[in-house]
């Protein structure tokens, strides 16, 4: 009888497990492709490829059951299977060095997928001609921002992710004396003017007094954005500033004063501030002559980075992004009669890993082919030498008398 550890080792290194993982990935890819019709690209990839399990919600209940292993789980099992099989089956010698290199490339390729799924961040930079911007915004995540506008020369901005309001009674704003008491949070909702006969609003200040909030399920389609909202009560030194409704659907901030300072509070797209500034000098939208078919989009921007003492112009256009400070800026869209440029900004720490993996796989195959070719040539030379010696031995000898 085999020990349990041996049975587990046999399963992990099994070729059948490899085939099962590949078949499961094919099913997930097909299901993810079909689901994009209803969930959009981002939502489908998140559910089928980035999670450990694919859950099915039971209609009419609050229950969900797992129906498939998610892409993250399948890739983790495949990675363990690949490493274990390589260690167990491959010969530890220079004769198999090419196969080792190729397998290392495959391991790096799968690892790069994990790094991308966990660490990649996509944001946007919307900028008008002549405008200078030093931040990028998330198209899906929101933040609650508290802006100290006391000094007319500059604003102090403090923010917290909107999701941190969920399930919390109170949240302190770091760097300020303000504590927010959370009266209600909605990841997605509809906003409408209050009608006669409706009960009093949770808000006692600002536009929330005359606004009705109707909760909605979160959206996932690419063209949809959650309209997040929260009822918050700012407390300064224990004194209430009233309850305010904040939402990215309101389109403006609201102000209050406390402790001799003036604050604005609002919900907006989550921002990431950059250590440099980007200025759009010119945007061009070229079309094929006589048609409205796009030929080229391009943005001429200036990068000003005081920490590097750098100021230079860069042209960003289709298939020619700007890679700078760990971020890649792609020309994505435009608006406002070709005076607004929208750049897609991607930060992916593992972007080089697939390229290195492919080089390793090709290099490994070439090395293994070279080793096999050399062995075959040496064997052929040995055979030719043996045949020549045999021919000499079998040839009739001349005897001199």
294 & 318 share domain: yes
Q: Please, is 199 exposed, middle or buried when counting C-beta atoms within 10 Å of its C-beta (0-12, 13-18, 19+)?
A: exposed
User: Which pLDDT does position 137 carry in this prediction?
Assistant: 96
Exposure on the CB side of residue 375, measured as CA atoms within 13 A:
9
Q: Is residue 102 part of a domain?
A: yes
User: Which pLDDT does position 400 carry in this prediction?
Assistant: 60
Q: Is residue 383 part of a domain?
A: no
User: Which pLDDT does position 245 carry in this prediction?
Assistant: 97
User: Which pLDDT does position 390 carry in this prediction?
Assistant: 86
φ/ψ of 111, rounded to 5, equals -60, -40
159 & 260 share domain: yes
**Which residues, other chains included, contact 3 with Cβ-Cβ below 8 Å and sequence gap of 6+?**
none
190 & 202 share domain: yes
Q: Is residue 39 part of a domain?
A: yes
Tokens of 186: 């909605």
125 & 186 share domain: no
Instruction: Provide the domain limits for residue 115.
Output: 4-120+363-371
Count of beta carbons in the 10 Å neighbourhood of residue 142: 26
267 & 277 share domain: no
Map residue 195 onto helix, strand or coil: coil
162 & 253 share domain: yes
Can you tell me the distance from the alpha carbon of 86 to that of 333, in angstroms, rounded to the nearest whole number? 46
Tokens of 113: 């997928």
241 & 291 share domain: no
Q: What is the pLDDT along the chain (401 residues), one digit of tens a residue?
A: 567 778 888 889 999 999 999 999 999 999 999 999 888 888 899 899 999 999 988 888 888 999 999 999 999 999 999 999 888 887 778 888 999 999 999 999 999 988 888 889 999 999 999 999 999 999 989 999 999 999 989 899 999 999 999 989 999 998 899 999 999 999 999 999 998 888 889 999 999 999 999 999 988 887 789 999 999 999 998 899 999 999 999 978 899 999 889 999 999 999 999 999 999 999 998 888 888 787 888 999 999 999 999 999 999 998 899 999 999 999 999 999 899 999 999 999 988 999 999 999 999 999 999 999 999 999 999 998 888 888 888 877 665 65
Residue for token digits 């490899």? 18
Can you tell me the distance from the alpha carbon of 74 to that of 266, in angstroms, rounded to the nearest whole number? 41
| CA 212, 216, 221, 227 torsion-angle sign | positive
User: Which pLDDT does position 401 carry in this prediction?
Assistant: 57
211 & 239 share domain: yes
Q: Is residue 376 part of a domain?
A: no
Q: Is residue 184 part of a domain?
A: yes
**Of the candidates 238, 271, 304, which is a domain's last residue?**
271
**Of the candidates 271, 295, 326, which is a domain's last residue?**
271
Map residue 249 onto helix, strand or coil: coil
Please report, to the nearest 10 degrees, the dihedral formed by the alpha carbons of residues 285, 291, 295, 297 taken in order: 20
Number of structural domains the chain divides into: 3
Q: Is residue 239 part of a domain?
A: yes
**Which residues, other chains included, contact 318 with Cβ-Cβ below 8 Å and sequence gap of 6+?**
296, 297, 298, 331
Q: Is residue 234 part of a domain?
A: yes
**Of the candidates 250, 271, 292, which is a domain's last residue?**
271
Q: Decide if 52 contacts 69 (C-beta within 8 A).
A: yes
Count of beta carbons in the 10 Å neighbourhood of residue 44: 21
110 & 209 share domain: no
237 & 164 share domain: yes
249 & 339 share domain: no
251 & 278 share domain: no
Q: Is residue 352 part of a domain?
A: no
């Amino acid at each position: 009888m085999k020990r349990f550890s041996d049975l587990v080792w046999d399963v992990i290194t099994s070729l059948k497990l490899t085939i099962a993982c590949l078949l499961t990935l094919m099913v997930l890819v097909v299901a993810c492709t079909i689901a994009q019709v209803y969930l959009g690209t981002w939502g489908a990839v998140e559910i089928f490829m980035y999670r450990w399990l694919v859950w099915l919600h039971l209609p009419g209940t609050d229950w969900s059951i797992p129906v498939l292993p998610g892409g993250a789980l399948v890739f983790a099992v495949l990675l363990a299977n690949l490493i274990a099989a390589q260690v167990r089956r491959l010969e530890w010698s220079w004769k198999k060095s090419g196969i080792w290199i190729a397998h290392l490339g495959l391991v790096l390729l799968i690892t790069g997928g994990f790094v991308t799924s966990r660490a990649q961040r996509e944001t946007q930079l919307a900028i008008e001609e002549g405008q200078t911007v030093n931040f990028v915004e998330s198209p899906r995540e929101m933040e609650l921002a508290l802006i100290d506008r006391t000094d007319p020369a500059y604003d102090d901005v403090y923010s917290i992710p909107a999701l941190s309001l969920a399930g919390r009674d109170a949240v302190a704003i770091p760097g300020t004396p303000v504590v927010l008491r959370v009266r209600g949070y909605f990841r997605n909702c509809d906003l409408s003017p209050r009608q006669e006969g409706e009960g009093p609003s949770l808000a006692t200040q600002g536009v929330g007094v005359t606004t009705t909030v109707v909760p909605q399920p979160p959206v996932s389609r690419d063209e949809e954005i959650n309209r997040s909202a929260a009822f918050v009560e700012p407390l300064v030194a224990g004194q209430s500033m009233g309850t305010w409704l904040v939402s990215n659907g309101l389109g403006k901030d609201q102000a209050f004063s406390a402790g001799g300072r003036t604050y604005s509070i609002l919900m907006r797209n989550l921002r990431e501030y950059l250590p440099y500034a980007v200025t759009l000098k010119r945007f061009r939208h070229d079309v094929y002559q006589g048609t409205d078919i796009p030929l080229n989009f391009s943005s001429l921007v200036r990068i000003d980075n005081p920490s590097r003492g750098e100021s230079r112009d860069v042209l960003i256009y289709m298939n020619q992004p700007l890679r700078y400070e760990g971020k890649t800026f792609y020309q994505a869209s435009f608006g406002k009669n070709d005076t607004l440029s929208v750049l897609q900004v991607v930060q992916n720490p593992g972007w080089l890993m697939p390229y290195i993996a492919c080089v390793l796989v090709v290099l490994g195959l070439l090395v293994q082919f070279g080793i096999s070719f050399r062995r075959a040539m040496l064997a052929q030379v040995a055979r030719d030498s043996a045949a020549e010696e045999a021919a000499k031995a079998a040839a009739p000898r001349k005897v001199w008398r």
